[in-house]
C-alpha cells in the first residue's frame, strides 16, 4: 500500500488548530489544498461523524470528483476522511504540545489501479510531495490567521 505522511509544528494551541482543520473544514479545506476546484457539503450542520461532502480536484493535471465522509472525529486529537466514491483516506492528527501543536497528515489511497502499478514510485513521490505541501500550507494559514486575529 502507498501512504504519504508529513508533519509540522504549528506555533498555536491545539484548540484553534483543530477548529481550523476539522470543524471549519468546509470553509478552510480549499484554502490549504489549491487542487480543490469545488467543494460542496452534502450534509447540513456542523462537521461531525458521517458528515459528507463532494469535491472536484485537479491533481497533476488530472481532474477527479469524489464524495467522502468524516470517518473519525476525536476532538482535539484526530479527524479522518474516507472516500466513498474513490478508495482513499486522509488523516489529520493533533498532538498538544502547549502552547504549540504537532500536526501529522497522512494520505492513503486504499488501492492502486493495475494500470497505474508501473508508476508506483512516481505516484509515491507525488503523494509525499503533496503531503508536505499540505502541512506547510496549513502551518502558514493557521499561524497567519491567528496572528491577524490575536
Where exactly are the structural domains of the chain?
4-32+74-149
Spell out the CATH class of 4-32+74-149: alpha beta
CB of 4 closer than 8 Å to CB of 128 = yes
> What is the mean pLDDT of the segment spanning 90-118?
88
**Alpha helices in 4-119, H assignment, sequence order:** 14-18, 25-32
Cβ 88 vs Cβ 109: under 8 Å: yes
- The grid coordinates of residue 73 equal 472525529
- Summarize pLDDT for 135-149 with one digit per residue, the tens: 999 999 999 988 887
Alpha carbons within 13 angstroms on the beta-carbon side of residue 80 total 13
Please say if the pLDDT value at position 86 is more than 90.
no
Between CA 33 and CA 17 the distance in angstroms is 16
pLDDT at 115 exceeding the cut of 90: no
Indicate the SS3 state at residue 29: helix
**Cβ(37)–Cβ(57) under 8 Å?**
yes
pLDDT at 98: 92
Instruction: Please give the pLDDT value at position 51.
Output: 97
Model confidence at 124: pLDDT above 90: no
Q: Lowest-confidence range among 53-57, 106-110, 132-136?
A: 106-110
Mean pLDDT, range 103-130, rounded to an integer? 81
Q: Name residue, grid cell 484526530.
A: 78
Look at residue 1 in the predicted model and tell me its pLDDT: 67
Any long-range contacts for 25-34 (C-beta under 8 Å, 24+ apart)?
A: 25/79, 26/53, 28/141, 31/137, 31/141, 32/134, 32/137, 32/138, 32/141, 33/57, 33/134, 33/137, 34/137
> What residues contact residue 93 under an 8 Å CB cut-off, 6+ apart?
77, 78, 103, 104, 105, 106
25-59: per-residue pLDDT in tens? 999 999 999 899 999 999 999 999 999 999 999 98
As a whole number, mean pLDDT of residues 78-96 equals: 95
pLDDT, residue 2, reads 81
- The residue-averaged pLDDT of 105-114 equals 81
Amino acid at each position: 500500500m502507498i501512504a504519504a505522511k508529513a508533519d509540522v509544528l504549528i506555533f498555536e494551541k491545539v484548540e484553534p488548530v483543530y477548529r481550523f482543520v476539522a470543524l471549519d473544514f468546509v470553509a478552510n479545506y480549499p484554502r490549504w489544498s489549491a487542487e480543490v476546484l469545488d467543494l460542496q457539503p452534502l450534509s447540513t450542520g456542523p462537521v461531525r461523524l458521517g458528515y459528507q461532502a463532494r469535491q472536484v480536484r485537479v491533481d497533476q493535471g488530472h481532474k477527479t470528483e469524489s464524495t467522502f465522509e468524516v470517518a473519525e472525529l476525536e476532538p482535539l486529537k484526530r479527524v479522518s476522511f474516507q472516500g466513498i466514491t474513490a478508495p482513499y483516506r486522509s488523516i489529520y492528527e493533533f498532538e498538544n504540545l502547549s502552547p504549540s501543536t504537532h500536526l501529522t497528515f497522512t494520505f492513503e489511497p486504499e488501492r492502486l489501479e493495475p494500470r497505474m502499478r508501473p508508476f508506483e514510485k512516481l505516484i509515491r513521490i507525488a503523494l509525499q510531495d503533496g503531503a508536505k505541501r499540505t502541512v506547510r500550507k496549513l502551518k502558514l494559514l493557521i499561524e497567519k490567521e491567528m496572528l491577524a486575529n490575536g
